[in-house]
Structure formats: structure tokens, C-alpha cells
């Protein structure tokens, strides 16, 4: 699977793309990463990618030509209906686990990482196929959100995780789209007077499964009651 990141800060990517599941996916050839510097698609000596907004106001706006031409360099005309071009934006829909599963079925994804006050609206009209947000807050650019989306996606690629069952029991998996996973414990069995639920060392897998289902429901009600409301 190909991931293309369009950015004016390519130096943000190498460490993250070489680490964790993103790194594993790359080393196993399940995913390839192409970080594209938008300044390479400028024609002036200063390699300008932004300008003042029409109508005035604070901040700078990323210009349309470098972004559109960068997208066209990695997405051919006959791929328009097959390759998602995702702009990370507070205007986008909040990323869900179901989106990660859907995007994992693609052969190629292009991420447009905005900066400054925003991106010229014509980019969205001309080349963007969907907008995604990672939450109702503002960060300085689309690079970190793009990496979050990529990380969520590669977890669904075959062979990337050490044990695919790990993904199947995650919070928000197919069977628990609107609930959290159970609480987890590991050694030591007691730490500073706090032990673990006895059922987890009982060897009774039916009871352990039941405990984990109940634990997931309890944690959802305690930490994310909004998920339970959405499931109704």
C-alpha cells in the first residue's frame, strides 16, 4: 500500500515512519511511504508556497498550484476514482475505526498536510476527495494528523501486527464499534497492595471472556458514555 504525504515540512516524517507499526509495515513491504516537499512544485526563486489571503485578515494561506500539481504527480488521471486524496482539516469528519478499515482496502492514499491559516479552497474543490479531522482542536499543521491516520490504517494491513487477534480485540473493533476494550493487567500479580482480578488467572477462558466483555462495557460507561449513546 502506498502512502504519499504532501507537506512543506518533510523533516517531520522520517523518525515516525521508521518506528512502531508504521516501521514494521515499511520493513515488511506492506506499506511504502513517499514524503513530498510541496516547495518542489513552485517556480519562483524563493520556492513560495503561501501568500496573504484575499480580503485581508491575519495569517497566510497555502497556495493552490503547488498542492494541485503535487497531487497530480502521484495520482494519474485514470486513478481519480480509486485513490483517495485526504486533506487533514477541522472541517473534516472525525476519524473512526471504520474509516481506518475502509482506507486499508485502498492501494494508495494521498495526504494533503496544510499549514498556516489554511489551504486555498480551490484545492478542496479540484483534487481532494475527503476531509478528515482527528478531533475538535487545532494543531499547527496536518502532518501529525496524517501520521495518526496512517498509523490507524496500517494496523489493518495483513501481517503488520505480531498477532492479528490483537487488532480484533481493540477498542472500536468490528464487534465493539461503540465501546472500549477491557482493562488489562500483567506481572507482578500484586503491586503496592493492589492485586489483579482472580478470574484472569483462573484458567477458565469462558469466564475470562465474560469478564472482559463486562469490563469493556464498564469502562465505556465510565470513560466514554457518549459512545453508548451513539450506539442506541
Outline where 81-224 has alpha helix (H): 97-103, 121-126, 143-154, 164-168, 205-223
- What would the DSSP string read from start to end of 149-170? HHHHHHTTSTTSSS-HHHHHTS
Confidence of residue 176 (pLDDT cuts 50, 70, 90): low
Domains within the chain, CATH numbers bracketed: 2-154 (3.40.1280.10), 169-231 (1.10.1270.20)
Q: Which of 152, 115, 131 is nearest to 3 (CA)?
A: 152
CA distance 174 to 164: 13
pLDDT of residue 162: 83
Residues with Cβ within 8 Å of residue 14, at least 6 apart in sequence: 35
* Backbone phi and psi for residue 182, each to the nearest 5 degrees, phi listed first: -70, 170
Examine the pLDDT at 189 and tell me if it is beyond 80.
Answer: yes
- Across the range 195-203, mean pLDDT stands at 98
> Residue 177 — very low, low, confident or very high, per pLDDT cuts 50/70/90?
confident
59 pLDDT above the threshold of 60:
yes
Residues 232 and 228: their CA atoms lie apart, in Å, by: 7
How high is the pLDDT of residue 175? 61
User: If you ran DSSP here, which 8-state letter would residue 52 be given?
Assistant: P
Tens of pLDDT along 61-82?
A: 999 999 999 999 999 988 988 9
pLDDT for the residue 161: 93
Condensed to tens digits (0 to 9), the pLDDT of residues 88-142 reads: 999 999 999 999 999 999 999 999 999 999 999 999 999 999 999 999 999 999 9
Amino acid at each position: 500500500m502506498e502512502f504519499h504525504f504532501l507537506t512543506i515540512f518533510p523533516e517531520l516524517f522520517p523518525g515516525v515512519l521508521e518506528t512502531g507499526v508504521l516501521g514494521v509495515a515499511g520493513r515488511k513491504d506492506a506499506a511504502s511511504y513517499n514524503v513530498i516537499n510541496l516547495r518542489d512544485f513552485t517556480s519562483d526563486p524563493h520556492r513560495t508556497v503561501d501568500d496573504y489571503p484575499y480580503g485581508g485578515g491575519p495569517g497566510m494561506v497555502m497556495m493552490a498550484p503547488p498542492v494541485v500539481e503535487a497531487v497530480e504527480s502521484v495520482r494519474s488521471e485514470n486513478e481519480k476514482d480509486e485513490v483517495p486524496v485526504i486533506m487533514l482539516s477541522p472541517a473534516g469528519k472525525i476519524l473512526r475505526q471504520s474509516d481506518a478499515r475502509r482506507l486499508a482496502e485502498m492501494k494508495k492514499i494521498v495526504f494533503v498536510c496544510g499549514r498556516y491559516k489554511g489551504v486555498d479552497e480551490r484545492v478542496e474543490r479540484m483534487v481532494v476527495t475527503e476531509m478528515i479531522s482527528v478531533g475538535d482542536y487545532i494543531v499547527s499543521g496536518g502532518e501529525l494528523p496524517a501520521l495518526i491516520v496512517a498509523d490507524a490504517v496500517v494496523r489493518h494491513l495483513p501481517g503488520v501486527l505480531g498477532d492479528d487477534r490483537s487488532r480484533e480485540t481493540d477498542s472500536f473493533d468490528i464487534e465493539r464499534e461503540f465501546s472500549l476494550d477491557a482493562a488489562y493487567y500483567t506481572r507482578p500479580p500484586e503491586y503496592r497492595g493492589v492485586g489483579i482480578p482472580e478470574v484472569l488467572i483462573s484458567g477458565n477462558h469462558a469466564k475470562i471472556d465474560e469478564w472482559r466483555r463486562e469490563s469493556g462495557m464498564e469502562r465505556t460507561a465510565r470513560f466514554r458514555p457518549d459512545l453508548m449513546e451513539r450506539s442506541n
